[in-house]
């Protein structure tokens, strides 16, 4: 399901498979070319045009999430309350979160080196929460849990797209790199909590209205219970014996990236060992 901070960097709209000399310098976890340069006798990927497009994409997305952040602050100052702030940024949130679908395309056409499957899962999970839960169940839009994950997403995406923009330009400030691999410690649990509480709040309304559910009999002889689907989605956050949940797997991966990026010479850095039991 949707998760607040990317524990495995989502590169779908950010870094080129290979680029011009000015834009293809590796940055940890993001700017590594998908293929080596011609000096190693391998075919180069997309060049300066792809890199320029990705810079533009990331600049636009950074600006979009900044608009959302400013909208939240202005609405809070005007109302003097954080309740119902979702309505002040509903349209830009839907637009820019849906715009992340392009990241799947970037992976599919090969201008970035990330997995289409992993990128698709991460992007679609957020799009799902944006449209199939928060948009479709209007009763939850005033819940404080929505603001919780919206704030987490907003800060995360401003940092993430800024990180990719500066990495592509080969001028990555340490502060942005540090924020990219540090803020998730707070933003990730904050976002996950908001997402789970929002889905939980939607359950009674989904069950009452039968939203998106398909009952038998019908000509396709197929049934689907959206209420049950949401419960299973929530369960996917929970680690069980012998299995990491998607959430804990991504958290562990992010800690490993943080250690490798910010403390490359440290031994044994990272989070405590996590055991999983139902």
Catalytic residue at 195?
A: yes
State the alpha helices, DSSP H only, in 169-270: 174-180, 184-209, 226-235, 246-262
Catalytic position from the list 195, 200, 212, 226: 195
Catalytic position from the list 188, 200, 212, 226: 188
Catalytic residue at 188?
A: yes
Extended strands (E) in the chain: none
Which residue, 199, 186, 188, 190, is CA-closest to 235?
199
Contact 133, 143 (CB under 8 A): no
- 224, β-bridge pairs: 214
Q: Within 10 A of 276 (CB to CB), how many other CB atoms are there?
A: 13
DSSP characters over 194-210 = HHHHHHHHHHHHHHHHT
Query: Which CB contacts under 8 angstroms, 24+ apart, belong to 168-173?
Result: 168/14, 168/15, 168/16, 168/19, 168/23, 168/31, 168/51, 168/54, 168/55, 168/58, 169/22, 169/23, 169/55, 170/22, 170/23, 170/25, 172/27
Question: Phi and psi dihedrals of 259, rounded to 5?
Answer: -65, -45
> For residues 30 and 14, what is the distance between their CA atoms, to the nearest angstrom?
8
Question: Phi and psi dihedrals of 224, rounded to 5?
Answer: -150, 130
The DSSP symbol for 129 reads I
Q: Is the dihedral of CA 52, 55, 61, 65 positive or negative?
A: negative
Active site members = 188, 195
């Amino acid at each position: 399901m949707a998760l607040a901070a990317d524990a495995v960097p989502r590169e779908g709209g950010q870094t080129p498979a290979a680029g011009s000399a000015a834009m293809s310098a590796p940055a940890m976890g993001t700017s590594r070319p998908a293929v080596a340069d011609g000096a190693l006798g391998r075919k180069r990927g997309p060049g300066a045009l792809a890199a320029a497009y990705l810079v533009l994409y990331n600049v636009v997305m950074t600006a979009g999430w900044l608009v959302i952040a400013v909208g939240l602050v202005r609405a809070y100052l005007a109302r003097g309350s954080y309740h119902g702030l979702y309505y002040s940024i509903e349209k830009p949130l839907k637009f820019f979160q849906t715009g992340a679908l392009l990241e799947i395309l970037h992976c599919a056409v090969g201008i970035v080196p990330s997995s289409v499957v992993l990128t698709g899962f991460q992007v679609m999970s957020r799009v799902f929460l944006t449209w199939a839960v928060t948009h479709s169940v209007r009763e939850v839009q005033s819940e404080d849990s929505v603001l919780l994950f919206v704030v987490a997403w907003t800060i995360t995406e401003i940092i993430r797209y800024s990180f990719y923009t500066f990495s592509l330009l080969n001028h990555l400030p340490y502060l942005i790199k540090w924020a990219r691999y540090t803020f998730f410690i707070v933003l990730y649990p904050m976002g996950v909590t908001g997402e789970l509480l929002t889905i939980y709040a939607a359950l009674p309304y989904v069950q009452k209205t039968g939203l998106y559910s398909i009952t038998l009999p019908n000509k396709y002889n197929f049934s689907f219970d959206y209420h049950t689907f949401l419960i299973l989605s929530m369960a996917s956050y929970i680690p069980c014996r012998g299995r990491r949940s998607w959430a804990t797997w991504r958290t562990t991966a992010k800690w490993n990236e943080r250690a490798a990026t910010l403390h490359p010479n440290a031994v044994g850095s990272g989070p405590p060992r996590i055991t999983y039991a139902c």
